[in-house]
Structure 1
Amino acid sequence: MRDNTPIDHFDFDEISETKDEAFERIKRELSSGITPLRKPRKLPLSELAIEYQVFQQRELAGRDLAGTVTYHVDNLLRNLRAETDCRLDPIIIWFTGRRWTILDGHHRYAAYLRYIGEEGETADNFYVPVKVFMGTFEDAFDLSLSANKKISEPLTASERSNAAWRRVCLDALEDNSWQISKKELAKRVTVSEAQVAKMRSAYLKISNANILFNSKPIDLTWTEALEFANGGRVVRDFTPDEQEIKAIDIAKRMGATFGKSLVSDPETFLLGLDRYSSQLHNQIIERILNDHGGFVEEWED
């Protein structure tokens, strides 16, 4: 078991678990049924754990301690020294059934470690303000993602996509159904419903094909998952802004070629689309039915 006491550096070697193993471990800890006896407002720094593979949504490569950005920690350290009690805003924590783990506040945690190292304090005796989050594992994961919309060091597009992909994997049930609606999941992970649908489709393709031997879908990045779902073919995943630009370009090309004729004769347009690509035709209809709660039959080859 990995040691969760504070450290003064970041070492990739100490992460010995895959993401799937970390998620399953926390589920086992929760199944113990142990609940905290109290909701603390302060805890010693040594009692705060970091779950790199679960609740730290930032990419660790090129990052400093706990996946943090050095200059942001520097700014927090200056703010920390300016406070009369040398404390920052509460770190949001959640109880796994075994330990208090950080959902939001990794930069504050890193700043505290820097501070006690410089001041000769110990993590056991240095108490910091905390705020307890009460909720399910899924709720805790969602908070760890949504909290990063508000801080001055938001997630990159890649980090947000990877976190959304992990949340889709977490939402999947054994019978290939989902715990919550696509609309609700999109709201929680702050991506479009179309992106959630795309990720769900990729998850089902990967899971049903049994193409992963020593890992699980949740261990993949979204880019890797997209590649696996497309038979090993590299597929670029456009950001929402890039997708909007591309959509406008397609609309202009269609307008220049067809004018308003497509609007007045949608049946012929759909027939033409089927002649152009039956696969694209079926995908569009399936997407429309999914988005509007329709029933999708299996398409014939």
Structure 2
Amino acid sequence: MQSNVTTVTFDQIALDDTFSMREQRRKVDLNKQPKGRVSGTHLQHLRTVLKNGGLLDPVKLWQEVDGQGGTTGRLVVLDGRYRIAAYRAEQATKDRKKLGKKPTPVTIPARIYAVTKAEALLIALQSNSKETLPLTYSERSNAAWRMVWEFGDSIPKPRLAAASGISPRTILTMRRQRKAFRDANDTPSLDWRKDLRWPKEVKEYCPPTDEQKAEMVTALAKGFRQTLNSNFTKDLATLADALEEALGIQQMRYLIDYLRTDGGDEIFLEEDDLKMDPRGSEEAGF
């Protein structure tokens, strides 16, 4: 399925957002410094490794094929955009130091996969689900839903579950929802949180103003402190269980994702989420 490690140059590599599982706010632009605490730190770490003469893991590329199975000539990035950005940033730094001299071409270690589009998407999803800067739960569920919508039952449920980290039960729900959309001759948004509730109308979230947000934070923080003071415990497990009981497992996951990434999206609760079974399945509430 894959070749041995080879090397490629920048001009051989193609980017295709079809294979980028990250939300727009977390996608890396190879020509810009990533925004956010985690994203920027991750790139800087990779650059430091290169600067010190270290090696980065090979990037994963797909030898693209068209609808008839013929190769198109493109090598599409499946995994390793941050590594490619690190190589490019370090090369730009070296070129500036050469003061007009001819730049030295950079070669990037790579594994090239000659597989179908479906297999390429699975490789991209599985790789990004487990790397240093992993996909959030929202990104993984949206990617799995997108693949279910495009490929139906052709990808075995255990294979997609293993690649995405989404439960087989949720993937079964996605398959049922795909059938419902097709029976209604309707097209999904490919945002699983919204499409799971279809055909129920999901209201667009209107974020609060800075002033409203500050007031909400102050009020919530005061309530949290009062509750913690009257039920004081140093047991972190108890605190975590209490939060999960209050928020529900889905909102707890989104909260954790928010805290460990760059915090670009707002986390909010809806009435349905507050009423759901806090120990329910992944389908509950979202």
TM-score (norm: length of structure 2): 0.60
Corresponding residue to 1:231 among 190, 200, 204: 200
User: 2:154 — aligned with what?
Assistant: 179
RMSD: 3.3
Contact 2:5 2:58 in 1 (8 A): no
- Matched to 2:23, the amino acid is E
Corresponding residue to 1:143 among 123, 130, 136: 123
User: 1:82 — aligned with what?
Assistant: 52
User: 2:8 — aligned with what?
Assistant: 43
Contact 1:157 1:239 in 2 (8 A): no
User: 2:141 — aligned with what?
Assistant: 161
Contact 1:46 1:124 in 2 (8 A): no
Matches within 5 A, 1:27-66: 41-52=6-17, 54-61=18-25, 63-65=27-29
Which secondary structure state, in structure 1, belongs to the residue aligned with residue 166 of structure 2?
A: coil
Which secondary structure state, in structure 2, belongs to the residue aligned with residue 61 of structure 1?
A: helix
Contact 1:41 1:130 in 2 (8 A): yes
Contact 1:44 1:124 in 2 (8 A): no
Residues 28-87 of structure 1 show CA distances to partners (whole Å, capped at 9, x for unaligned) of: xxxxxxxxxx977111112111111x1111112254425962221111001111116xx5
Alpha-carbon distance in 1 for matches of 2:164, 2:94? 39
Name the CA shift for 1:106/1:64 in 2 (closer, same or farther; >3 Å).
Answer: closer
Name the CA shift for 1:123/1:55 in 2 (closer, same or farther; >3 Å).
Answer: farther
TM-score (norm: length of structure 1): 0.57
Greater C-alpha radius of gyration: 1
Q: CA deviation at 1:155?
A: 0.6
Alpha-carbon distance in 2 for matches of 1:206, 1:169? 9
Corresponding residue to 2:191 among 211, 216, 221: 221
Alpha-carbon distance in 2 for matches of 1:183, 1:240? 25
Alpha-carbon distance in 1 for matches of 2:28, 2:154? 35
Residues 173-215 of structure 1 show CA distances to partners (whole Å, capped at 9, x for unaligned) of: xxxxx21443343233221111001111221222221234xxx
Contact 1:92 1:131 in 2 (8 A): yes
Is 1:114 equivalent to 2:82 in the alignment? no
Name the CA shift for 1:189/1:149 in 2 (closer, same or farther; >3 Å).
Answer: closer
Instruction: Say which structure, 1 or 2, has more relative contact order (CA 8 Å, 6+ apart).
Output: 2
Contact 1:44 1:123 in 2 (8 A): no
Contact 2:59 2:77 in 1 (8 A): yes
Name the CA shift for 1:152/1:125 in 2 (closer, same or farther; >3 Å).
Answer: same
Alpha-carbon distance in 2 for matches of 1:123, 1:47? 17
Which secondary structure state, in structure 2, belongs to the residue aligned with residue 126 of structure 1?
A: coil
| Unaligned stretches of 5+ residues in structure 2 | 65-70, 97-101, 204-247, 254-275, 282-286
Name the CA shift for 1:186/1:244 in 2 (closer, same or farther; >3 Å).
Answer: farther
| Unaligned stretches of 5+ residues in structure 1 | 1-37, 173-177, 249-301
Contact 2:129 2:165 in 1 (8 A): no
Name the CA shift for 1:124/1:47 in 2 (closer, same or farther; >3 Å).
Answer: farther
Name the CA shift for 1:124/1:132 in 2 (closer, same or farther; >3 Å).
Answer: farther
Residues 259-296 of structure 1 show CA distances to partners (whole Å, capped at 9, x for unaligned) of: xxxxxxxxxxxxxxxxxxxxxxxxxxxxxxxxxxxxxx
Residues 73-116 of structure 1 show CA distances to partners (whole Å, capped at 9, x for unaligned) of: 111001111116xx522111111022001111111011112112
